[in-house]
Chain A
Amino acid sequence: MKKEVVAMLLAGGQGKRLKGLTKTLAKPAVYFGGTYRIIDFPLSNCTHSGIDTVGVLTQYEPLVLHSYIGVGSDWDLDRRGGGVLVLPPHERENGSSWYQGTADAIFRNINFIEQFDPEHVLVLSGDHIYKMDYNKMLRYHKEKDADCTISVINVTRDEATRFGILNTFDDYRIYEFEEKPAEPKSTLASMGIYLFKWHVLKRYLNEDEKQGSSSNDFGKDIIPLMLKSRKQLYAYPFDGYWKDVGTIQSLWESNMDLLCEEPKLNLNDPSWRIYTRSPNQPAEFIAPEAKLRNSMVNEGCIVHGEVNHSILFYGVEVGEGSVITDSVIHPKVKIGRNVRIHKAIVNENVMIRDGAVIGSADSSDIVLVNGEY
């Protein structure tokens, strides 16, 4: 069945800097925003953009991710002739090995893509929080007749030193890619979203694989190779909310961003719902003595204590006299009585004993609580 666009979602990364949160699951499966996992964002974006064929490339600790995605029905991606398919590395005629880099992961699934004979392939990463209409990007890509279009976001000059920066002419045609430049020439940071003409990408994937020294990475190898042979590469400017939640600090910040009165990332937009697997919990129980301020609380929570400027995932219990401030509490955490929690992320299923004190208001560090406390 022919498709105009096939999306390939890179979801094999460990996300080492998320420490204990990614001990048993890949970064795209990390929780966010009181009810989501990171991968819900690109998957929901695909659904809303009318992209109904998505390959999800997994490698590091894939169990949670595989069972979470299932047949994709929560994202309306259980489709005949397409839908979502999880693509872990597999043994082949000439031996077996892991995906070596982002480009290698796509290269080894050329057969998957070819089934749909697509015009374009959209390469996404499962590491970012954002809402984006890929269809608009596709229209831009076709208008420019680009071989590759890379979505970019304007960052400050300071931040630019931490991103992959694209240097472009006035019409957004890219002439250079610089990874974390000390002296950035531009502030257009790559969002890790690439839209390729499939026949062009296929040629470069094959070429790249032949070079033994290549790290088989889109940013480091494929894009520079295409620039060198003067292919038409364009930057697509995006101005919505976009965040790489690669560290405990940035994950915490991104959660806290949701708590302001008019968050830049509106999750309550009926026309662009972020789909997720529903845990099917009863309405949350707010006890007579509870206090809740500037917080998001999910169903299945039982709150007796005080919750200030925090996010509670489903099934969290907060005992009497406990105060939670500036924190993110993952699913099914049981917090005893008279507990104090400040600036922390508490991982799922953790039990916090009566009277425990975690973090402090004065500290700028975010505490990660990963086991019984």
Chain B
Amino acid sequence: MKELVGVINLDDELDQLSELTYFRCGAAVPFAGRYRLIDFVLSNMTGAGIVDIALFVRRKYRSLMDHLGEGKSWDLDRNHGGLFILPPDWNDPTDVSLGDLQHVHNNLDFFNRSSGNSMVHSGSRHISKVDLRKVYEQHIRTGADITLVYKPVSEMRPEYESCVRLDVNERGFVTNIHNEQHHPNIYMEIFVMDKYKYLELVKDCIARGKSHFFHDAIQGGLDHLKIGAYAYTGYHAVINSVESYYASSMELLNREKYEDLFRDNPIRTKIKYEVPTKYLENSNVTGSLVANGCTIEGAIENSILFRSVQVGKGARISNSIIMQKCVIEEDAVLENVIMDKDVRLSRGVTLKGNSIKPFVIAKSSHI
């Protein structure tokens, strides 16, 4: 869809996942056995036919860049357009911009050169399968200045605490933006608007010394902007804490949730060439998600195994998330554990966390 350009802005996203975000930004955190959080928003964009995508990053983006490369796995390695990873290398001596406005001010070339006239702006913490073409169609049909995407939820979860809520009137327009805890309309940090209107609002914010586009231009513009609301009803998860990461991961062990996330429109990720997973004679795997390249001899229940994990004979893993290339030696026991990449757990060692607060083990440790 050439009318839309994509902006993924990670500036707002704090490193909220303790050990998992010590050395990487939230968008680069591995999820669901073989993906990273960025894959979901990126796949939604490419799935909608968007071919110009800018990624605003500020810190800890090394592993993100390694994952994305030139965007080949998402068909974003294009002669014209494609994926632009834009870290803060800014050298304009007259620059007075602040906050996330800095990214826009210093990357005007991206906006001016990309082909579409409208843009979709998103973060990476809200995982969804939102059809951005439909959001765009509604945006054009209603003639809104901006269209915000929200999820009306039926039950409150702890991770919604920091989420912005929207009051939506019967005509589908936003009447108020707030953080009232019991309000069910969770703003998904995705909006669509005219690219030039966006640049104009950014310029105006900078001129007035503002520093946050959403708060200053959108929330602050409630009285003079026509703000539409798009209600999304499909799969949705918010990853903004270790607890929400753990709970949302474990939910995928339910087949209905698994299919909600994976059934239509494949989610693309960096291609690896692993062999299918091998379940050996003494293995006993139940109620789990397992990626390729694993060799399993132990017992695994209610857990997620990323690519190339080795589980030795007699080892027992339950309610845990084991990331890429971990080695669990014989007779080790894991319960309620999130194990980051490349961890080796020695023979016979036992590690247990709590079912709400799992035990997180940092990358590349040897225990």
Contacts and interface: CB of A to CB of B under 8 A. Distances in A.
Interface string A171-210: 0000000000000000000000000000000000000000
Contact of B277 (A274, A280, A282, A284): A284
Of listed A35, A298, A299, A311, residue having the most chain B CB within 10 A = A299
B281 A294 contact: yes
Interface string A274-297: 111010111111111111111111
Contact of B283 (A73, A268, A288, A292): A292
Which of B255, B261, B302, B306 has the most A CB atoms < 10 Å from its CB? Answer: B255
B280 A284 contact: no
A310 to B, nearest CB: 10
B255 A283 contact: no
Contacts of A289: 286
B273 A268 contact: no
B343 interface: no
A283 B34 contact: yes
A34 B276 contact: yes
Nearest to A312: B276
Interface in B248-300: 255, 258, 261-262, 266-269, 271-273, 275-281, 283-293, 295
Interface in B323-356: none
B146 interface: no
A59 B288 CA distance: 44
Chain A interface, >50% SS class = loop
A67 to B, nearest CB: 16
B279 A293 contact: yes
Contacts of B306: 283
Nearest to A282: B262
A335 interface: no
B32 interface: yes
A34 B34 CA distance: 18
Given A282-B262, A284-B290, A288-B287, A274 B279 contact: no
Contact of A286 (B32, B268, B278, B288): B288
A292 B285 contact: yes
Contacts of B295: 268
A4 B304 CA distance: 47
B306 to A, nearest CB: 8
B268 A296 contact: no
Contacts of A311: 276
Nearest to A274: B273
A298 B34 CA distance: 13
B228 interface: no
A315 B119 CA distance: 35
Interface in B194-208: none
B252 to A, nearest CB: 9
B267 A282 contact: yes
B276 A35 contact: yes
Nearest to A275: B273
Interface in A290-348: 290-299, 302, 307, 311-313
A290 B285 contact: yes
Nearest to A270: B308
Nearest first, the 6 closest Cβ-Cβ pairs linking A and B are A283-B33, A34-B276, A288-B287, A298-B276, A292-B279, A283-B291
Given A284-B290, A297-B279, 5 more contacts: A268-B278, A278-B271, A283-B33, A291-B284, A312-B276
22 contacts: A34-B275, A73-B72, A268-B275, A268-B293, A278-B271, A280-B266, A280-B271, A282-B34, A282-B261, A283-B32, A284-B277, A284-B289, A285-B255, A285-B258, A286-B287, A288-B287, A290-B286, A295-B278, A296-B277, A297-B276, A299-B292, A313-B276
Interface of A: 33-35, 73-74, 261, 267-268, 273-276, 278, 280-299, 302, 307, 311-313
